[in-house]
């Protein structure tokens, strides 16, 4: 910002809640910042205000330390729940571990039903999670975005975790690229074991429709990468996505907000609000 002249400053829209409320094309609103600056309070206020001018609004907490239930004095879970006192505002709190477990179960369900194959699939996922830091969060995020894209809401407000976690969300496409490379190595490592295990059972290491289990795993990760890539493209569209940086007049908060703004700019994500 320091490099902008007066004319360039004049061209920038004034940061205000009105920008968010009046932009009808806005689909996703992310609220982030340093821990303890009031992200949940801001998210709730934005969600409530949007519910006054939208037909259906969803407020999602991706922070492991959920606070939406406390804010509304109402218990929320992994499914959208109508907020008491509203007829069009819904809340849900996402658990990354549950999403990762759900992803692993879907992988196992696509495999054969014998215990040996199921065990190998479980070991495959465990090895993948420990080999690539952040892959569990990337998969959980993909599962979340897959869910919300199928939901019928005009606008979705995300109450995110502190800055470091939020910035990791933006690196997920890169993480998925690394994951697919690692999968190729793991496929070679476990592919033979799958065949041996199934051969001992007199069968083949295949899914319910005859697919190779390792290929099913790669296909699932490819699908996940596709979802994240699609979401990432939407993130870069200021008509669809905006990021609200919450800050308080304190040095560390200001410093971290500046860093967050710079990182968001690198990824091409609108954060002028």
Spell out the alpha helix ranges (H) of 205-250. Answer: 213-235
Distances in Å between the alpha carbon of 141 and those of 62, 100, 136, 227, 231? 9, 9, 9, 10, 10
Residue-wise burial string across 3-35, b where 16 or more C-beta atoms lie within 10 A, e elsewhere = eeeeeeeeeeeeeeeebbbebeebbbbbbbbbe
Catalytic residue among 7, 63, 152, 215: 63
Q: Is 63 a catalytic residue?
A: yes
Phi, psi of 258 (to 5 degrees): -60, -45
- Answer whether 115's CB lies under 8 Å from 132's CB: no
Q: Using the 8-state DSSP alphabet, how is residue 240 labeled?
A: T
Residues 151 and 178: their CA atoms lie apart, in Å, by 30
Residue-wise burial string across 228-241, b where 16 or more C-beta atoms lie within 10 A, e elsewhere = beebbeebebbeeb
Two structure tokens written together for 26: 């806005």
Q: Where are the beta strands (DSSP E) in 3-104?
A: 28-33, 57-61, 81-82, 89-93
**Residues taking part in catalysis:** 63
């Amino acid at each position: 910002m320091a490099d902008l002249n007066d004319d360039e400053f004049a061209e920038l829209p004034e940061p205000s809640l009105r920008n968010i409320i009046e932009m009808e094309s806005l689909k996703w609103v992310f609220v982030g910042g340093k821990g303890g600056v009031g992200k949940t309070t801001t998210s709730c206020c934005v969600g409530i205000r949007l519910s006054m001018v939208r037909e259906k609004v969803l407020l999602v907490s991706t922070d492991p330390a959920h606070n939406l239930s406390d804010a509304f004095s109402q218990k929320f879970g992994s499914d959208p729940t109508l907020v008491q006192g509203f007829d069009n505002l819904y809340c849900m709190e996402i658990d990354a571990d549950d999403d990762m477990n759900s992803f692993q179960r879907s992988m196992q369900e696509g495999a054969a039903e014998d215990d040996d194959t199921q065990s190998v699939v479980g070991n495959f996922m465990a090895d993948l999670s420990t080999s690539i830091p952040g892959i569990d969060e990337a998969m959980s995020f993909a599962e979340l975005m897959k869910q919300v894209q199928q939901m019928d809401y005009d606008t979705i407000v995300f109450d995110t975790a502190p800055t470091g976690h939020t910035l990791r969300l933006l690196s997920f496409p890169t993480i998925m690229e690394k994951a697919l490379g690692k999968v190729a190595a793991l496929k070679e490592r476990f592919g033979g074991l799958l065949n041996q295990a199934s051969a001992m059972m007199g069968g083949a290491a295949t899914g319910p429709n005859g697919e190779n289990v390792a290929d099913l795993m790669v296909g699932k990760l490819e699908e996940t990468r596709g979802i994240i890539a699609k979401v990432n493209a939407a993130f870069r569209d200021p008509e669809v996505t905006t990021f609200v940086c919450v800050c308080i007049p304190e040095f560390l908060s200001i410093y971290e907000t500046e860093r967050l703004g710079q990182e968001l700019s690198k990824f091409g994500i609108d954060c002028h609000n």
